[in-house]
Amino acid sequence: MALVVQKYGGTSVGSVERIEIVAQHIKETKDKGNNVVAIVSAMAGETDRLIKLAKELSNNPSEREMDLLLSSGERVSSSLVAIKINELGQKAMAMTGRQCGMVTDEVHTKARIKSIDADKIMNYVNDGYVVIIAGFQGISEKTGDVTTLGRGGSDTTAVAVAAALNADVCEIYTDVDGIYTADPRIVKNARKLDRISYSEMMELASLGAKVLQIRSVEFGMKYNVPIMVLSSFTFNKGTLVTKEDENMEKILVSGIAQDKNQARLKINSVKDEPGIASKIFNTIASNNINVDVIVQNVSDDGRTTDISFTVPRDDAEKAYELLRNLAKNIDAGDVTLNKDVAKVSIVGVGMRSHPGVAAKMFDSLANEGINIRAISTSEIKVSCLIDEKYTELAVRTLHDSFNLGNE
């Protein structure tokens, strides 16, 4: 008997009709002779709605109360799914984070899972229940307060539960039917991938592909949980996120990602001496702003240089302020902010063993007259910062150059 963990996202349980479909699918999976544990997100839009309510009452709502508030969305959906499954004649048990012993650290609104009471869940499973777990939430280890795992956190609940229960597969049901070579809304002949490695999926998730929360992929990789991404609207075969194999390395590039949530800051004429970069990036980091593509130019005169980097666009104004204040303190030149930039990236484990992939990317962009403003790379990724208005063109061009499309 296989143990299948399933996760249903917000749109999959977004209405009574959707919940009926999901309940039916869970029952069918059980009827086929599997044990099933399902994790659900809040009904589509619910988490946003709750955040909005809190923001109407306070500009800075306390994080502890936000967690308690937001965790209610998943309580509602998990209870409703269990109610419907019972109605269909299959025993079902809904559980909150607390009830299934989902213990986290104390960091409200972005807690990390520490342990799960697998025995408690399995006792019900072995009694013939399907267990429906409220995603995205836990309780903190020291205080026992309700915590949440960050936006999109139900993915992480699901993969962590699959790991803890040693499940055969973790199926993530969403509103797209898998991972594509590029965003199908931009590239008409984008192709659905049968398989993708954990490390590629992690890069894609961090590059702006929103299908899976990045932490969930980290968990999958660490505990080797096969993750299947598929649609609860079509139930077609999806994409398997799994260990790397030799065939994956034969392919140069697996996917293209784009991210318009970028802004570029540049600080001119900073002294070329030890400690300056550390001052700049510590200032930004201590304000909880993530820094991405960094470029420091070589100083021609050996005295000053300039440093530029990107931050998420929402944080741009705040980072600009911080940087302007810092510039005065460290005797630097002026600071500029440019919000009309975007990042396009190619990702593939094949890059490790094939030289020339970056050069080919730069060639393709050049052929379209697209200027590259900054570059960053990892072992399996090359990203270029370009003018935002060329994003779609760049994605299509790269998709063509690396022959990623369907014929």
Q: Contact, 341 vs 310, CB < 8 A?
A: yes
Residue 216 C-beta: closest distance to ligand ASP, Å:
9
The pair of structure tokens assigned to 261 is 């949530």
Residue from 110, 151, 191, 324 that binds ligand ASP (CB under 6 A)?
151
Residue from 152, 220, 255, 348 that binds ligand ASP (CB under 6 A)?
152
For 251, which DSSP code? S
Q: What are phi and psi of 103, to 5 degrees?
A: -90, 135
Residue 95 C-beta: closest distance to ligand ASP, Å:
16
Q: Contact, 223 vs 171, CB < 8 A?
A: no
Q: Which residues in the 6-25 window bind ligand ASP by CB under 6 A? A: 10
Q: Amino acid identity, residue 289? A: I
Tell me how far apart the alpha carbons of residues 233 and 178 are, in angstroms, rounded to a whole number.
12
153 binds, among Mg ion, ligand ASP, none (CB under 5 to 8 A by kind): ligand ASP
Q: How many residues does the chain have?
A: 407
Residue from 14, 97, 135, 220 that binds ligand ASP (CB under 6 A)?
135
Residue 121 C-beta: closest distance to ligand ASP, Å:
19
Nearer to ligand ASP, 154 or 401 (CB): 154
Interface region with ligand ASP, contact rule CB under 6 A, candidates 12-20, 149-157, 198-206, 319-327: 149-157
Tell me how far apart the alpha carbons of residues 148 and 110 are, in angstroms, rounded to a whole number.
6
Residue 10 C-beta: closest distance to ligand ASP, Å:
5
Q: In terms of Cα–Cα distance, which of 168, 259, 260, 151 is closest to 215? A: 151
Residue from 14, 97, 138, 153 that binds ligand ASP (CB under 6 A)?
153
Residue 185 C-beta: closest distance to Mg ion, Å:
18
Crossing angle of helices 16-31 and 63-87, rounded to 10° = 60
Nearer to ligand ASP, 42 or 165 (CB): 42
Strands 3-8 and 35-40: parallel
Asked if residue 136 binds ligand ASP (CB under 6 A), the reply is: yes
Residue 231 C-beta: closest distance to Mg ion, Å:
13
Nearer to ligand ASP, 73 or 138 (CB): 73
Alpha helices by DSSP H, listed for 88-128, are: 118-126
Residues binding Mg ion (CB under 5 A) = 9, 152
Residue 42 C-beta: closest distance to ligand ASP, Å:
4
Tell me how far apart the alpha carbons of residues 311 and 101 are, in angstroms, rounded to a whole number.
37
The pair of structure tokens assigned to 246 is 């030799």
Residue 182 C-beta: closest distance to ligand ASP, Å:
24
Nearer to Mg ion, 150 or 405 (CB): 150
β-sheet bridge partners, residue 4: 36, 169
The pair of structure tokens assigned to 175 is 């509103």
β-sheet bridge partners, residue 50: none
Alpha carbon 122 to its chain centroid, in Å, reads: 28
Residue 180 C-beta: closest distance to ligand ASP, Å:
21
Cα angle 388, 52, 217; round to 5: 60
42 binds, among Mg ion, ligand ASP, none (CB under 5 to 8 A by kind): ligand ASP
Interface region with ligand ASP, contact rule CB under 6 A, candidates 150-158, 174-182, 248-256, 394-402: 150-158
Size of the site for ligand ASP (CB under 6 A): 12
Q: Contact, 129 vs 113, CB < 8 A?
A: no
Q: Which residues in the 30-89 window bind ligand ASP by CB under 6 A? A: 41-42, 47, 73
Site of interaction with ligand ASP (CB under 6 A): 10, 41-42, 47, 73, 135-136, 151-155
